[in-house]
Amino acid sequence: MVYGRRYRLRASFSRPDGKFGMRVKRCLAFSDTNNTVELVDARGCADPDVMSNFRYRHLRGVAEAELFSMFKFPESNRVHFQCDILVCKGPCRAVDCEETVPQVRELPTYLVDAQTRRFQKFSTHDGISRKKNPL
């Protein structure tokens, strides 16, 4: 591989018959020392700074995406790629990668108030702790 050159990632069925589709999800690039970069998220959306989203040719059983520029990890001369492939009966449902990713809901934190010896619920928002009503 040549650093800085464009490359194409391809996933394909060995014997496509048009009955099954695929969605490429959770693609990682990693080094021999297990430094990892996520290229495609769990929805199947690529990091737009690194590569294109996968294009699917259902009847041919092929999914392809383009790496805009091959990269390397500083401590290694090898880059490994690994992706999860979702197989669907018929074409897989399309994903809107322009839609914002839902945020993971933060679980509340409970602390014991030293004066009242009751649990107090705390939450963080924008890095600021806020004391909520006691339980």
Same structural domain for residues 52 and 111?
Answer: no
Q: How is the chain split among helix, strand and coil, in percent rounded to 5?
A: 0, 45, 50
Q: Is residue 1 part of a domain?
A: no
Q: pLDDT by residue (tens digit) across 58-106?
A: 889 999 999 998 887 888 888 889 999 999 998 899 889 887 655 444 4
Most confidently predicted of 1-10, 116-125, 126-135: 1-10
Rounded mean pLDDT of 23-35? Answer: 90
| Contacts within 8 Å (CB) and 24+ apart, 128-133 | 132/108
Q: How far apart are CA 67 and CA 40, in angstroms?
A: 11
Q: What is the CA radius of gyration of the chain?
A: 22
Same structural domain for residues 58 and 14?
Answer: yes
Q: Is residue 77 part of a domain?
A: yes
- Domain carrying residue 114: 107-135
Same structural domain for residues 30 and 83?
Answer: yes
**pTM for the structure as a whole:** 0.67
Same structural domain for residues 12 and 41?
Answer: yes
pLDDT number for residue 26 = 93
Q: Is residue 129 part of a domain?
A: yes
CA dist 52 → 21, 34, 44, 64, 103 (Å): 19, 24, 11, 9, 23
Q: Where are the alpha helices (DSSP H) in 15-117?
A: none
Q: How far apart are CA 12 and CA 58, in angstroms?
A: 10
Instruction: Quote the number of domains for the chain.
Output: 2
Same structural domain for residues 80 and 122?
Answer: no
Same structural domain for residues 59 and 119?
Answer: no
Percent of the chain residues topping a pLDDT of 70: 72
Same structural domain for residues 44 and 77?
Answer: yes
